[in-house]
Amino acid sequence: MPTKNTSIHGEWSSRLAFILAAAGSAVGLGNIWKFPYMAGDNGGGAFVLIYLICIVLLGLPIMMAEVMLGRRGRQSPINTMKTLCEQENTSHAWRLLGWGGVVAGVLILSYYSVIAGWSLSYVLESSSGTFKSITETQAGKLFADLIASPLTLIFWHTLFMVMTIFVVARGVSNGLETAVKYLMPSLAVLILVLIGYSLSQGSFMLGVEFMFTPDFSKINEQVLLDAMGQAFFSLSLGMGAIMIYGSYLSQHASIARTSFAVAFADTSIAILAGLAIFPIVFAYQLEAGQGPGLIFNTLPLAFGQMPGGVFFGTLFFVLLVFAAWTSSISLIEPAVAWLVERRGLTRTKASVVCGVFTWLVGLGTVFSFNIWQSYTLFGKTVFDMLDFLTSNIMLPLGGLFIAIFVGWSMRESSVKDEIAIQNPTLYSLWRVLVRYVTPVAVFIIFLHVIGLI
């Protein structure tokens, strides 16, 4: 049995700290911004049903595997895979899995930061009373003017990246753990307040019916693809975040229980976000299938009409910022950890280097909404291409290769030692899912993505 590896970056102070951090990574714009509009675009309940199946059969088993790899290697994803390849006497090509996760995290954060910047802008707009009695035309113009101005988007993009760098530079315990300890409970309180408002003012049962009454005629290949991509995006799988957070997990913590707690928290927030948003949408006779503009185009109309709209509108966009912030720190952490290990940089310098690089890449997304809007590749802008590449290709492929590495390349004795599932039946079920069900399902859907089936 190989010697247990140790982390030079520190550990979470408790299992709860890991759950909050990993849930903070998972609970982000994918839950509050992306999940509601994807559910709206894909028929509500039909999408939610497939999404939940993907979480259970694909997301949770891979999350456990990724946490296990992180704790086994105790380093950045790149160096973790290098170490495990040596310890398991397997091909060094598996190091590309670590590189893929780090690159995916940086690419996602590059456009994630721009979208989070929209939320920061709308906190200011809402708190200043801009939404009060706003018309549909005015709401559309407000959003259009925001994304049409490169300088405005760069300002908010820069501010959000500075917020991210500030937390990551402070380290595991003083930065990451302290941030999620306050942000995650605050996020939960904010969304419950909005749920309470939806119960009292919105068409709550219409929202419930929309989300939980599946229309099976809506289920097609695209819904399957979107649901799987959303499950991976929402759980932060395949982007190095869960692996690096797993590397800070105590050896005594149960990987199975902590992974289940994270997946449950993430899915619950996504469902609650839908229950907070759709009743308001239906109460004010807005269109649910608005795509990415659902939150930024339609909700200001509702907040502008409802009693206390200034307060609740501001609360909602603060919620979006908090959710984005807890995710952004996990997206950049793998790259920062690698620079500290490989180049010997301090965390502050590594955070600034990674932050500036990610900021520069994010300019492509900024310009794709304005001055580069007419420049497309395969009909997609820079933002659309990055979103498609990461959500539908890199993350599912990362999850696929994690499952194959754990299920087929690692020695089972190593897997059993690290995963430490005491119940033989549960262990066998997890191993079957990781070795057979998850890889086959992801591979089939991936072939559909690239047009081979």
pLDDT confidence band for 255 (50 / 70 / 90): very high
Within-domain flag for 6: no
Percent of the chain with pLDDT over 70: 93
On whether residue 2 sits in a domain, the answer given is no
pLDDT tens for residues 292-312? 666 787 778 878 887 888 988
pLDDT score for 293: 66
**286 located within any domain:** yes
How confident is the model over 414-442, as a mean pLDDT?
92
- Judge whether 3 lies within some domain: no
Residue 373, domain extent: 15-449
- Is residue 1 domain-resident? no
Write down the mean pLDDT value for the chain: 86
Residues 124-152: tens digit of each pLDDT: 999 999 998 888 789 889 999 999 999 99
What does the pLDDT average to over 100-126?
Answer: 94
- Lowest-confidence range among 6-15, 183-192, 249-258? 6-15
Residue 79 lies in a domain: yes
Query: In the chain, what is the straight-line distance between the N-terminal and C-terminal CA atoms, in Å?
Result: 43
Look up the CATH number of the domain holding residue 82.
1.10.4160
Residue 215 lies in a domain: yes
In a domain, 138, yes or no: yes
For the stretch 9-60, pLDDT in tens is 767 777 788 788 887 777 776 677 677 777 777 777 888 888 888 888 888 9
The tally of domains found in the chain comes to 1
